[in-house]
Each structure stands twice: as structure tokens, then as C-alpha cells.
A and B are shown apart, each in its own frame.
Chain A
Amino acid sequence: MTPTRKRRLTAVLVIIFGVSIAAVVAMSALNENMLFFVSPTDVEEQSLPAGKRFRLGGLVAAESVSRAEDSLAVTFVVTDGAYSVDVRFDGILPDLFREGQGIIAIGQLTPDGHFEADEVLAKHDENYMPPEVADALEKAGHVESE
């Protein structure tokens, strides 16, 4: 091997080494930051551990939103037609949040079976249904009445 080739080989090996480390770090970061989408039916059927973060999606049940008197705490029910989950949230709800609207809440289950949300998302367009929510509603046999 000529010295030039040797040097090139070293360079290539260093690059491969660096990139593989980056890939390993990336994959573990990916796994740690993966959030599963879960419907109320899934919550009912699978025993999800309390404290594990996930995305809960469904419709905000009619007349379920209730606010605290003196803080921003709010509770509401997310349903997919078949089952429902009580959600607690302390913060400002998005503009498009309203009863009957499809939303996604990010957070975790508490030991007493509530869903503690730290983020609530409603989409920009009122005609738009998050695809996961639409899918979950369909599975639960909920029919859109328009």
C-alpha cells in the first residue's frame, strides 16, 4: 500500500467509525423520543403503564369541558365513540379546541386512571381531522355525522 492509500484508508475508517457512532446515538435518541398514538379504546384494552408518555387522540366529548374557578386547570373527556378517557390539563388550550373537535393530547396516565396532558394540539383547519384520530374513530365504529 502506498502512503497515500494508507492515509486514505485511515481517513475512511475514521469516517465510518464516526458515522456509526452517530447512527447508534441517533437510534437510541429516536427510541427514547418516540411517542405512540393511542386511542381511548387502546387505553381501555391495553394496560398502559402509568408514567409512560404517549399521544392520546379522539374527539372532545360534548359538555365535558370544565374549568377551575381560579386557575387555568381544565378537565375534559376524549372519546372515540366506544370508550373515553378523562383528561386533565393545566394551561392554555389551542384556538381550535372545542367540544366535538378532534384533538391530540400529549402526556401520561396517572395511577388513578386519568390522563395528565402537558400539551394539547388541535389542527389549524377546522375541517381537518388528524389522520390518526380519523383512523381511530373509524376503528371504533364512530360514524361522522355531517
Chain B
Amino acid sequence: MTVELGQISLMAALLTALVLGLVPMIGTYTGNRRFMAVSTTAALIQCLLLMISFGILTAAFVVQDFSVEYVARNSNSLLPMHYRFSAVWSAHEGSLLLWELILAVWIAAVALFSKRLPEVFRARVLAVLGWISVGFLLFILLTSNPFGRLIPSAVEGLDLNPLLQDFGLIIHPPLLYMGYVGFSVAFAFAVAALLGGEVNRDWVRWSRPWTLIAWAFLTIGIALGSWWAYYELGWGGYWFWDPVENASFMPWLVGTALIHSQAVTEKRGAFGNWTLLLALSAFSLSLLGTFLVRSGVLTSVHAFASDPTRGIFILAYLGIVVGSSLTLYAIRAPKMIQGGGFAGTSRETFLLINNLVFAVMAAMVLTGTLYPLLIDAMGAGKISVGPPYFGLLFTWLLVPMVLALPIGIFTRWQKDTGSRLAGMLRWPMAMALVFGAGVWIMEPEIGFVSAAGVTGGAWVIFGSIFYVGHLLSRKNSLKIPGSVLAMTLAHVGLGVFLIGLSLVSTLSTEKHLRMEAGDKYQMVDYTFEFLGTKIVQGPNYTADEGEFVVYKGDKEVTRLYPQKREYAQRGNTMTEAAIDPGFTRDLYVSLGEPLDQNGRAWAVRVYHKPFIRWIWLGSIFMMLGGILAAANKRYRRKMPATKPVNTGTKEVTA
């Protein structure tokens, strides 16, 4: 009976979402304050109902109720306890429920932490979020119910996909969804502003912390996905330009443009319409991503079970959301107030460059992702777009962005002079050039492009740090505004990321070998000795476990134990790579397949990956920067209905 309660709870959540979408919205037009106040209650009740629903599904996994079809498909009596929790979101139905739960949590958070907003505006935001929730609840209930019963009940479950039996999967989807779904809040703020025809730009300030938090979650969610792919897929790749990765990357690119254009709009009033458009696009791209993943229209390593009705539903939903919000934008945007002008040399210009680059990047990824669909639809054959397309374009697009970034940090709003900037920026520029040249001399094989990448990363890092120094020296005090620290942290993260990316893409050594027990292989400074394999018994798998000793000179560095697992229930084979991680290099060994009958000879991957950790380290910095920026005190101050326009050329930080 319990799982039926889960479904009833889900239906009740749908009714609550309808109330949330309708009643406060009517209230804002009739001026009925009681109607508007319904929004808080409805948001909280909806969240509670979804927690109940989600809790019941989780309980079904924990107690192994194989009479529930979804549980029977994705669990097994041998599945270890901690994976029973993550198994809840391992397949389509449950991960949608997680999506919806996270949406409900965001809505409840908006309801709880936006009490300072004007009543009408707040009611509109929550009502818009209510409608988004209605769409997703309908999607779940009509096409993807996780609570369906299996009659007769299964005796044993099919087991969780072994690839997903991993720590990375426990945390990757929730964090990613926090980001995806979080953009719905920025979307709702933008729609609410358009609905109200807000003549001022207060909505931007109000929505900034929400956007920043969503962006931070998306950043770390994507980075975790990359890390997971690196160690779990067994062949050491960290980014594949897979359509599903692209689906999460597009909202990130637009979201990054958005957090920067919000800064301009909040501080200077410029880019007002553009910020609105980005806020609408970021969430629309999140939905597009969901559509691409769920509908099965794309060939991808993330093979979610595809079902045409689901695809059509999401497409219709996407059409409604994008269509109605863009129509609203077309009608209302011309009425929105425009900010002041700015000179060619001004922070606005540099942030404009940032926005252009990110918008073009997102457009490129969108093109590369959708082009195969277009070609197929025209009947011109089935194609795929290779990673070199994306790699080439990003390399070129990063050039203007990286060059402009530190200059933009130092530039004043509205108007500045080139000579002042040159005076302040020559030191970080010189240091970056020396650093890049030094790395190139030490590692000549990285080549020009990577050396330029390292220099660019160093330029961003030195520029950011010098700016902090500049503020310190000017103010003669040790207090640095939180927003500057946040910005510096995120930009240093980008620099670290760029350096890591440049080095790992050119310094990596990857070798596929045939190794017999006793064989040695020398790679860079390390010698890998294969001692052989033995059989290891796991809770729900049997594995061949290899043992490798890694020496540097005569000294033993580490022992690596890669596994080749056979999961009994599904009959899957899985590669578990063994990695010795390090700040400057990873040693990576994974087993391919046995090459002879007695299991002495194996196909083995041996990789040396310098600085690969820097990619994720940089992402962590970016995430922390986002969170720190969102935590800024000024977002928690009492919000005045209208803010006087700041016309001074005072150096204000983004």
C-alpha cells in the first residue's frame, strides 16, 4: 500500500502546484493580498508532499520492494545499502522525481528567503515557478510514474547498472539538477519582471544570489560528471563532447554570461533586455537538455531508456515555456528601462566581450549538438559531429575572453583610459609571459597552443591577484569586499583550469599494452610492473584484480589494483581503473581484457596524466567563488522599492 501513498502524494503535489500557479497570480491582478499570501503555504506544502513521495520511493528501495517495477528494474537483493539510496535516481522515472523534488526545494527556498521582496513581485515569481512545477508533475504522472506495480511481483531485482554503482553517481545528479533546476528561479524572476512591466531593474539584484547559487551547483555538477567519467569509464577521458554533456554545458555557458550581465545591469542599468533574455535562455536550455537526454533522439553514452511519448511531452513543454516567455519578452521588453551609455574603454565593454564570447560558445555547442538531428530529419543521412569541431572552436573563442578578462577587472565602469590600465596591467602581463615562456622551455613538447594556454591561465590568475593588491594599496586597509574575493576566487579557478587543461592535453602519455605477469613498462619517469591477477569477490560481483607496482627509479611509488568486474545479475563487465592521484600528475592503470586462456596476459591501459587534477580544482574554485558571491551581505539588506541610479565613476566591483 505504501507506494500508492507515494503516488497519491505526487497527485496532491500537482494540485498544490496548480493552486500555487493560479491563486497568487490572480491575487496580483485583483490586488487580493490573501490570495498572494497563499503562495508561501502552497510552496511549502508542495515541497513537503514531494519529500514524502520521494521518501516513499527511497523506502521501497531500502526494503527491496520488488513488487514496484522501478525498484525491480534498478535494484537487487545483493545491492549494498548506500547504493540503494542512489539507485532511486539511477533511471528515468526516479531521476525525474528527483528533478521535481529539487524544484520544489528551490521554490520553498524562494518562498522562505524572499520575504523582503515586494508582495506582488514575490507572488508572481512563485506563481511562475508553480507553473513550471505543474508541467513537470504532469510529465511524471502521465509518462514516467515511478510507483507502477509489477504484477506478479518479481522475486529478484535486475540490479542497478554497474556503471552507476559508484560514489560519483550518488552525488553527481543531485548537484547537477540543483544547477539545472536552479536556473528556473532566475527564469521566474525575469518572467515576473516582464509580467509586471517593472520599470526599474530591482529584479536583477533580487535574482542575482539565486542565479549565482544555481550556477555554482551546475559548475560543480558538471565537474563531478567529468571526474566520474574519468575514473569510472576506464579509459581516462574527462570530457567527450557527448550530446548529454553538451546539454548540461549549454545552460552553464549561458548561465556564466548571465551572472556577468546581471552585474552590469544591477550596477549600471545597461544590458537590461539582454539580461532578461539570458535569464529566459538559461532555463530554456536546461529544458532542452532534459529533452535531449530523455527523448532518446540523440545517440549518446548516457543511454537513458527512450520513449517517444516522453520526448513529445517534453518537446511540447519546452515549446510552451520558450514560446510564451519569448512572446512575453517581445511584448514587454521594449518598455523596460534602459541604462546609461558607456565609453569604448569601460568595464561594460569588457563584460560585453565576455557575454558575446559565452553566447557564441553556447550557439556553437547548440549547433554541433543539433546539426545531426537536422541532417537526419532532412533525410540526408546519419552523422555525428566529432570532438575536434568543439575543441577547435573553444580554443579560438577562449582567446578574446582570456585576453579581455583581467583588463575588464581593472577597468572602471562607464569610462576609463587605456594608459591608466596599461600602467596597472603591465606587471601581471609580464609575469604571465615569463611564466608561460618558462613552462614552455621546461616542457618544449607542449607546443605553442598549450604554452599560450598556460600563459593565458597565468594572465588571468596574476591579473586577478594584482587587482586585490591594487585595492589593498589604494584603501590602505586590509578589508577586501566579499564580492571582490568571490570574483577573484572564481577567476583564479578559471586560470587553474586553463593551465591544467593545456598541460594535460599535451603532456599526457597513454599506452595500450599487452602485458603478461612479470612484464615491466617504462613511462616517463615511472616503471610499471605487472605482477598478475587474482580473483576477488565483491558483494554483487566477481572481479579479476590486477596488481601493478609503480617505481620511480628504484623507489616504489605506489601499488595499483585495477579490477575487471563481472556483475552476476545483469551479466555486465565493468572496468575499475586504479589511479594514484597527485597534484602534478595522475598514474592511471586499467585492465582491458584477458588475452589468453590462463589469464596471464592482459590488455592494459597505462596512462600518465600530468596536472589533470587542476581541471577539477579550478572548477571547485569557480564554485566556491559563486557561493561566496551569493553570500554577499548586500543581498540580505532590506530592499528598497527603487534604488537611486549610481552615476558616479566610482570603482564599483561586479
Tell yes or no: A82 within 8 A of B by CB: no
Contacts of A71 in B (CB 8 A): 514
Which of A25, A33, A55, A130 has the most B CB atoms < 10 Å from its CB? A33
Contacts of B575 in A (CB 8 A): 95
Q: What are 17 sample pairs from A and B whose C-beta atoms fall under 8 A apart?
A: A22-B364, A25-B393, A26-B364, A26-B367, A26-B393, A29-B389, A30-B389, A33-B388, A34-B386, A36-B381, A72-B592, A95-B573, A123-B301, A124-B161, A125-B161, A126-B572, A132-B299
Contacts of A11 in B (CB 8 A): 344
Contacts of A131 in B (CB 8 A): 296, 299
Q: Known contacts A29-B392, A124-B163, A130-B299; can you find 10 more A-B pairs with CB under 8 A?
A: A18-B356, A25-B393, A26-B364, A30-B389, A33-B386, A35-B383, A91-B512, A93-B592, A93-B593, A131-B296
On chain A, the number of residues with a Cβ less than 8 Å from chain B's Cβ atoms is 37
Tell yes or no: A4 within 8 A of B by CB: yes
B393 touches A29 (CB 8 A): yes
For residue B97, give the distance in angstroms from its CB to the closest CB of chain A.
21
Tell yes or no: A19 within 8 A of B by CB: yes
Tell yes or no: B605 within 8 A of A by CB: yes
A92 touches B384 (CB 8 A): no
Complex Cα gap A73–B179 (Å): 44
B514 touches A72 (CB 8 A): yes
Which of B356, B387, B514 has the most A CB atoms < 10 Å from its CB? B514
For residue A26, give the distance in angstroms from its CB to the closest CB of chain B.
5
B234 touches A95 (CB 8 A): yes
**A-B contacts, CB under 8 A, total:** 96
Contacts of A67 in B (CB 8 A): 595
Tell yes or no: B398 within 8 A of A by CB: no
Contacts of A91 in B (CB 8 A): 512
Tell yes or no: B644 within 8 A of A by CB: no
- Chain A, residues 123-146, CB within 8 Å of chain B (1/0): the string is 111101011100100000000000
Quick one: which of A25, A55, A95, A126 contacts B384, CB cutoff 8 A? A55
Tell yes or no: A45 within 8 A of B by CB: no
Q: Which residue of B lies closest to A129 (CB)?
A: B303
Complex Cα gap A22–B365 (Å): 13
Quick one: which of B356, B572, B593 contacts A19, CB cutoff 8 A? B356
A36 touches B382 (CB 8 A): yes
Contacts of A32 in B (CB 8 A): 388-389
Contacts of B301 in A (CB 8 A): 123-124
B303 touches A37 (CB 8 A): no
Contacts of B387 in A (CB 8 A): 33
Complex Cα gap A132–B372 (Å): 12
Tell yes or no: A15 within 8 A of B by CB: yes
Contacts of A96 in B (CB 8 A): 572-573
Q: Which residue of B lies closest to A37 (CB)?
A: B382
Complex Cα gap A30–B299 (Å): 18
Complex Cα gap A119–B120 (Å): 58
Q: Which residue of B lies closest to A126 (CB)?
A: B572
Complex Cα gap A108–B348 (Å): 49
Quick one: which of B368, B396, B571 contacts A30, CB cutoff 8 A? B368
Contacts of B592 in A (CB 8 A): 72, 92-93
Complex Cα gap A32–B385 (Å): 9
A22 touches B360 (CB 8 A): yes
Q: Which residue of A lies closest to B306 (CB)?
A: A131
Contacts of B368 in A (CB 8 A): 30
Quick one: which of B296, B384, B388, B605 contacts A37, CB cutoff 8 A? B384
Q: Which residues of A1-31 have CB atoms within 8 Å of chain B's CB atoms?
A: 4, 7, 11, 15, 18-19, 22, 25-26, 29-30
Complex Cα gap A33–B593 (Å): 31
- Chain A, residues 68-102, CB within 8 Å of chain B (1/0): the string is 00111000000000000000001111011000000
